Amino acid sequence: QAVVTQEPSLTVSPGGTVTLTCGSSTGAVTSGHYPYWFQQKPGQAPTTLIYDTTNKHSWTPARFSGSLLGGKVALTLSGAQPEDEAKYYCILFYSGARSWVFGGGTKLTVL
Amino acid sequence: EVLLVESGGGLVQPGGSLRLSCAASGFTFSSYWMGWVRQAPGKGLEWVANIKEDGSEKNYVDSVKGRFTISRDNAKSSLYLQMNRLRVEDMAVYFCLGGPHADYWGQGTLVTVSS
């Protein structure tokens, strides 16, 4: 099974910008992996922020954006707010195995 | 309002079985893939299984193949996960999710596997 890697932790200052990335052990991440990003706060169910690399849901704050970056998929937060402190997970689809694999998650601290 | 409500979790001995249910409302359940994701205590998310709109395709993570079965009843807007031969490592909160783009998540149901 493929391994999906994320930064274990990142810190951003309030109002600052941070980029979280998600890579694959099988090679470059592409739109064909249908990348998603999820946010999870302690004690809560996850919420879906980004789907298919770049698309936002209606509830996704405009300060979040998704992209492909250097063979990985990225989630950029521009203008971090205290309420953005959470764990962020990406997931990738592997068509050959017809399976989805989560990354280990990035704990984002706004400090 | 969209709701996904899981039920069926509980305490089971290793080797035992449980059937999880997820009752959906507020959206056209029969139009979308649905799935299960789990989270072991203090750990990250793990995709478990998903099922196509009409039930014709089902996919599983390797660790549950042959033990878990995902199914759905579109007439009842319900998703199920039959879990057999449970192992200690299956202990987790199980979330159901679905919608056009994994829009909707339930609050989860806890499965405890312990003797």
Which run of H or E residues covers position B21? strand B18-25
Average pLDDT estimate for A45-59:
97
Say if the Cβ atoms of A89 and B62 lie within 8 Å: no
Residues of B with CB under 8 A from a CB of A: 35, 37, 44-47, 50, 57, 59-62, 95, 97, 101-103, 105-108
* Contact status of A99 with chain B (Cβ, < 8 Å): yes
The model's pLDDT over A83-92, given as tens digits with 9 standing for 90+, comes to 999 999 999 9
Percent of chain B residues past pLDDT 90, beyond the cut: 100
**Contact residues, chain B, for A51 at CB < 8 Å:** 101-102
- Please state, rounded to an integer, the average pLDDT across all residues of chain B: 97
CA A101 – CA B44 distance, rounded (Å):
11
pLDDT level of residue B92 (50, 70, 90 thresholds): very high
CB contact under 8 A, A98 and B101: no
Q: What is the DSSP string of B25-73?
A: ESS-GGGS-EEEEEE-TTS-EEEEEEE-TTSS-EEE-GGGTTTEEEEEE
* CA–CA dist A56, A41 (Å, integer): 19
The span from the CA of A64 to the CA of A76, in Å, is 6
Query: Residue A96: which pLDDT band, with cuts at 50, 70 and 90?
Result: very high
Region of A30 please: left (phi>0), alpha (psi -120 to 50) or beta.
Answer: beta
Give residue B12's pLDDT. Answer: 98
What phi and psi, each to the nearest 5 degrees, are found at residue B9?
-70, 170
Q: Do the beta carbons of residue A37 and residue A88 sit within 8 Å?
A: yes
Q: Give me the pLDDT at residue A102, please.
A: 98
Residues of B in contact with A89 (CB under 8 A): 44-45
Mean pLDDT of A48-73: 97
Q: What pLDDT shows up at residue B19?
A: 98
Q: Write out chain A residues lying below 8 Å of B95, CB-based.
A: 45-46
Tell me the pLDDT tens digit for each residue of B19-74: 999 999 999 999 999 999 999 999 999 999 999 999 999 999 999 999 999 999 99
Measure the CA–CA gap between A104 and A108, rounded to whole angstroms: 13
Question: Cα separation of A32 and A52, whole Å?
Answer: 8
Judging contacts by C-beta atoms under 8 Å, the chain B residues touching residue A60 are: none
CB count in 10 Å sphere of residue A42? 7
Q: How confident is the model at residue A31 (pLDDT cuts 50, 70, 90)?
A: very high
